[in-house]
């Protein structure tokens, strides 16, 4: 009886926290098992995560939704989906035919190479990439940055931006990619930014803006962070761990400036 009361008290304390997180907490129990609804919700989330990984991205439909005059279709060194899951190293390299295609598309020394890769969630790219890119391109052009042809990469990993940026002689690369789905976010997209991309760059040399989805980071905040990184990288000539995202501290300082001193 005492144990049951302790469990009930703990659930009463934890339950209000459910409104602050999508994590599975305070699910309750039926005997030694989870309640039926919690079990069914878990199975649904697991199925959605599997679908996000396994359903192929419709690149033709994606291209139609993008407001870009020049689009180049590429593929990594991976030949099929099973190999993509088993050989992440191949997902970081371009196929020989794609290298040839990219060399033909190369023109001058653009400031930015913009890349969209399917990654581990086709749903994330379908849901978020068109809106983000169509807002990003005007912001980039407004800053007078030149942009290489937009690259769409099948079976791409994060580091695929390095050989692409290097081949295009771009100063910076931006990779939009579907992130590994979790059981609460099967459609999360990430943005990876690298200054002076080239083969052999490490993860420490690029910046990540993660968790972009309906219940995560919104498009406006993600773009603010990205434009900050672009502008700062231009000044400092670097990216990665040495380039800190200070957008949140800037917002806090602005809020403090507008506070009523009478309320302090």
Q: Please indicate whether residue 18 or residue 87 has the higher confidence score (pLDDT).
A: 87
- Sorting pLDDT into bands at 50, 70 and 90, what band is 178? very high
- Domain ranges within the chain, ordered by starting residue: 59-246
pLDDT beyond 70 at 261: no
Q: Distance between CA atoms of 227 and 232, rounded to whole angstroms?
A: 9
**Residue 205, pLDDT score:** 97
- Sorting pLDDT into bands at 50, 70 and 90, what band is 24? confident
pTM above 0.75, yes or no: yes
Closest CA to 146 of 164, 115, 172: 172
CB atoms within 10 A of CB 168: 25
Compute the average pLDDT of residues 48-58.
90
C-alpha to C-alpha distances, 14 to 26, 27, 34, nearest whole angstrom = 6, 10, 16
- Sorting pLDDT into bands at 50, 70 and 90, what band is 256? very low
Cβ proximity of 237 and 203 under 8 Å: no
**Residue 13, pLDDT score:** 72
**Residue 4, pLDDT score:** 63
The region of weakest confidence among 2-11, 40-49, 143-152 is 2-11
Q: Please indicate whether residue 40 or residue 28 has the higher confidence score (pLDDT).
A: 40
pLDDT tens by residue, 127-168: 999 999 999 999 999 999 999 999 999 999 999 999 999 999
**Residue 259, pLDDT score:** 52
- Sorting pLDDT into bands at 50, 70 and 90, what band is 250? very low
- Sorting pLDDT into bands at 50, 70 and 90, what band is 15? confident
pLDDT beyond 90 at 206: yes
CATH 3.40.50.11240 fits 59-246, yes or no: yes
Cβ proximity of 191 and 212 under 8 Å: yes
**Residue 9, pLDDT score:** 63
**Residue 155, pLDDT score:** 98
HSE (side-chain half, CA atoms, 13 Å) at 170: 35
Q: Distance between CA atoms of 97 and 100, rounded to whole angstroms?
A: 5
Cβ proximity of 176 and 68 under 8 Å: no
Q: Judging by beta carbons within 10 Å of its beta carbon (0-12, 13-18, 19+), is residue 172 exposed, middle or buried?
A: buried
Cβ proximity of 48 and 188 under 8 Å: no
Counting residues of the chain whose pLDDT is more than 90, the rounded percentage is: 66
Q: Distance between CA atoms of 237 and 196, rounded to whole angstroms?
A: 8
**Residue 257, pLDDT score:** 45
- Which H/E stretch holds residue 103? helix 96-105
């Amino acid at each position: 009886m005492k144990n049951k009361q302790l469990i009930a008290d703990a659930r009463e304390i934890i339950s209000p926290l459910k409104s602050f997180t999508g994590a599975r907490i305070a699910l309750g129990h039926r005997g030694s098992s989870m309640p039926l609804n919690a079990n069914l919700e878990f199975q649904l989330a697991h199925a959605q995560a599997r679908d996000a990984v396994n359903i192929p991205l419709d690149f033709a439909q994606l291209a139609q939704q993008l407001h870009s005059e020049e689009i180049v279709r590429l593929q990594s060194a991976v030949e099929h989906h099973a190999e993509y899951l088993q050989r992440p190293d191949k997902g970081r390299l371009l196929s020989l035919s794609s290298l040839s295609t990219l060399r033909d598309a190369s023109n001058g020394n653009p400031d930015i190479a913009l890349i969209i890769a399917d990654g581990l969630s086709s749903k994330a790219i379908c849901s978020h990439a068109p809106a983000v890119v169509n807002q990003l391109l005007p912001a980039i052009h407004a800053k007078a940055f030149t942009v290489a042809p937009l690259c769409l990469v099948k079976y791409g990993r994060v580091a695929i931006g390095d050989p692409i940026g290097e081949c295009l002689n771009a100063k910076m690369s931006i990779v939009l990619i579907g992130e590994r789905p979790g059981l609460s976010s099967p459609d999360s997209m990430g943005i990876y930014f690298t200054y002076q991309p080239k083969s052999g760059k490490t993860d420490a040399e690029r910046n990540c803006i993660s968790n972009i989805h309906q219940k995560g980071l919104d498009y406006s905040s993600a773009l603010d962070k990205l434009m900050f990184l672009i502008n700062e990288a231009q000044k400092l000539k670097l990216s990665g761990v040495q380039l800190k995202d200070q957008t949140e501290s800037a917002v806090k300082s602005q809020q403090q400036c507008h506070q009523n001193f009478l309320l302090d």
